A = this chain, B = another copy of it.
């Protein structure tokens, strides 16, 4: 029998491009073509109905990625899913939370107790922040997950990433890195073995991870303290993917450069010294604080009324990068949380 001719053709070398190779940023860039221009520039979409502006936001929470049974009780999963969603609405300028639609996927062997816990956690968060469960859907699936869509009305200030301006001051509504520290504590991360952390910091960190608070009060204060002579214009986002990604988002959408003071990183009280800790402050993620680009007088007014808020830098003319204020021009790199990292 003659050997089969199996010389490879060029097609045999062609491998389809996967999400893991693309990465999240490129995926989002490509998906924009399917929506109206600018529609997907912010996390939250805006709808005008009878001169009432509504905000709508969807967030996915997937077992093993956004939570795990080891570190997050069912109640905490429900609370965090709602809090993360409302954080996006807060960072867009929500007034009243209307409610949420809940898409639930879970394998058939999931105990009812877990589902009940998740709904109790969601209920507790809605009781605290406003809104009700409007509706939803559920399905069998291999992996537990929640797909939550939250709706709210828009207040006087529509925050956009792209509304940052050169000359603005960069301010945040609270400390960053706590949630990541909380996760490390819950996971008994070896990095913590030789560090004596104050109990108060440990408790605050675990609370920040399990029961995060959307920055609705900080938003309310921001609206109240606006100097009368200023227009309703501010750049804003939340730090659910970490402080650095939030600032990078402001830069990319507004076309400005951000300058951060390394001594002004928004560390928590009694935050230990050391560069690995500061990485968590920059890249830890799930901080759910407001990250704002404000005219100086508005920033001053806000810092005065919000005790936990602080200034971290400023925006200037320049390519959309984040640099240190030490004059070196060094671009601050990101160990970006990659949703589609190939394992």
Contact B60 A22 (CB under 8 A): no
In the complex the two chains form, what is the Cα distance from A138 to B27 in whole Å?
Answer: 9
Query: A56-B134, A138-B24 given as contacts; is B31 within 8 A of A119 (CB)?
Result: yes
Instruction: State the CA gap A104–B132 with chains docked (Å).
Output: 24
CB distance from A66 to the nearest CB of B (A): 7
Distance in angstroms between the alpha carbons of A306 and B180 in the assembled complex: 60
Cβ-based interface call for A145 (8 A): yes
A130 at the interface (CB under 8 A from B): no
Q: Which of A47, A50, A105, A137 has the most CB of B within 10 A?
A: A137
A164 to chain B, nearest CB (A): 20
Give every chain B residue within 8 A of A333 (Cβ-Cβ).
none
Question: In the complex the two chains form, what is the Cα distance from A40 to B47 in whole Å?
Answer: 24
Decide if A45 touches B139 in the complex (CB within 8 Å): no
Closest approach, in angstroms, between the C-beta of A110 and any C-beta of chain B? 5
Residues 16-41 of chain A: 1 if any B CB is under 8 Å from the residue's CB, otherwise 0?
11111010100110110011100110
Q: Which of A34, A65, A113 has the most CB of B within 10 A?
A: A34
| Known contacts A133-B34, A135-B40; A58 and B108 CB within 8 A of each other | no
Q: Which of B18, B47, B120, B123 contacts A112 (CB 8 A)?
A: B18
List of B residues within 8 angstroms of A98 by Cβ: 47, 49
Highest count of chain B CB atoms <10 Å: which of A44, A113, A149:
A149
Given contacts A30-B112, A109-B20, contact A62 B134 (CB under 8 A): no
Which of chain B's residues have a CB closer than 8 A to the CB of A58? 101-103, 135-137, 147, 149
Given contacts A34-B122, A35-B133, 16 further A-B contacts (CB under 8 A): A18-B111, A19-B107, A34-B119, A39-B132, A39-B135, A44-B135, A49-B50, A49-B54, A58-B103, A60-B138, A62-B140, A103-B103, A108-B342, A137-B147, A140-B341, A147-B147
> Residue A141 at the B interface, CB < 8 A?
yes
| Bound CA–CA A308/B284 (angstroms) | 58
Q: Does A59 contact B (CB under 8 A)?
A: yes
Partner of A138, one of B28, B56, B112: B28
State how many angstroms separate the Cβ of A176 from the closest Cβ of chain B: 22
A38 to chain B, nearest CB (A): 11
The yes or no answer to A142 lying at the interface (CB within 8 A) is: yes
- CA–CA, A60 to B103, complex, Å? 7
